[in-house]
Amino acid sequence: MVDAVAEALTWPFFEPRHRELHARLSSWLAEAKLPEHLSPHATQAELDAHCRDWVRALGEAGWLRHAVAGREHGGESDTLDTRTLCLLRETLGAHDGLADFAFAMQGLGSGAISLASSPALKARYLPRVASGEAIAAFALSEPDAGSDVAAMATTAQRDGDARVLNGEKTWISNGGIADFYVVFARQVAPGATPEARGTGSIAAFVVDADTPGFEIAERIDVMAPHPLARLVFRDCRVPAANCLAEGENGAGFKLAMRTLDVFRTSVAAAALGFARRALAEGLDRAVSRSMFGQRLADLQLTQAKLADMALAVDSAALLTYRAAWRRDQGHTVTREAAMAKLAATENAQRVIDAAVQLWGGAGVRSGAVVERLYRDIRALRIYEGASEVQQLIIARELLK
């Protein structure tokens, strides 16, 4: 099969450096000694070790340098290039969902530091993220505040030169293996009552994993295994110097949204990578499987299915890289990123389901490539803004 990503790189969204980057990453994935695909029956300890191995491999090979901003802090460039993030996630996702996860979380977990921290915090954390020495996490969601960030209940009370955090976060990727967490909390003055709702008082902090008062309360198992946890803060004292954005005029909330705006388009790219792999697997099955005295590919129903899969993949790719290109040109891409994530994740679900169908019974066998993709894709339609939230964003932008 033609390298579909290389073919797409001829589109006007890309520059020669992007084509060279894809070629190098593809060669590395094909030739380097990398972690094997994780068994769906792996233990929590095996999963944690596997993800650490991927972070280490990506860091040693220099790929994580693209996930942080600032050459002086280990970054490949001084700003995050959205097309690069997307291209890396798409290529890694087509290879192994946990490879994509390891790369993406280094970027998302440290993204707020790249965007808004002091030089001291950048120097302390970003070089270790870029080298794979430190694992990052982004802690925004709560039991009653997922898509509805305004319902956040975790608080950060000012106490001299410290901020005291109380509350909990959940569904936190890299929870349990991260060395530090970017945590969002509602800032309150001593003796004051926290807001019941709203985003104006939300602040952001860097919390090291060994900080007293911070604990991993629960490890969460999901259908596509990756490190995930519920976090609890009990009088957790964080130095004021670790504050990324104070809770004034919505500074913390705006920082969270800026971080998500960078990486939301890359979620679409990861879904695109899953879909491209599923289409390739479906094509391989169609041309190699004999049925009723002919190839499966010779049946018109199969050809119609393959056509629909190809259409879904290319339409998602166009929306994804339009959003990435526009952001790299300095445009606000709230609507474009929402369209890309919505289309790419929903389309990928359909493409992967079709690939499983083409594989028949072999497609639902535990450990099969299409079975793994089927589990991998489902969460992407929920995290970093569920599909329904993306629809609301698109409509809101249209109605402005």
Is the CB of residue 345 less than 8 Å from the CB of residue 273?
A: no
Angstrom distance (rounded) from CA 81 to CA 91: 16
3-state secondary structure of 131: helix
Given 60, 248, 384, 388, which residue is catalytic?
384
Angle between helices 334-359 and 369-378 (to 10 degrees): 150
* Short-list 382, 262, 384, 383, CA closest to 323: 262
Question: CB count, 10 Å around CB of 173?
Answer: 25
HSE, CB side, 13 Å, CA atoms: give it for residue 198: 14
Angstrom distance (rounded) from CA 82 to CA 328: 6
The answer for residues whose C-beta is within 8 angstroms of residue 296's C-beta and 6 or more apart is 285, 286, 287, 289, 290, 302, 358
- The conformation of residue 324, written as its DSSP 8-state character, comes to H
Q: In degrees to the nearest 10, what's the CA dihedral of 385, 262, 59, 27?
A: 90
Is the CB of residue 58 less than 8 Å from the CB of residue 103?
A: yes
3-state secondary structure of 112: helix
384 annotated active-site? yes
Question: CB count, 10 Å around CB of 137?
Answer: 27
The residues carrying an active-site annotation are: 384
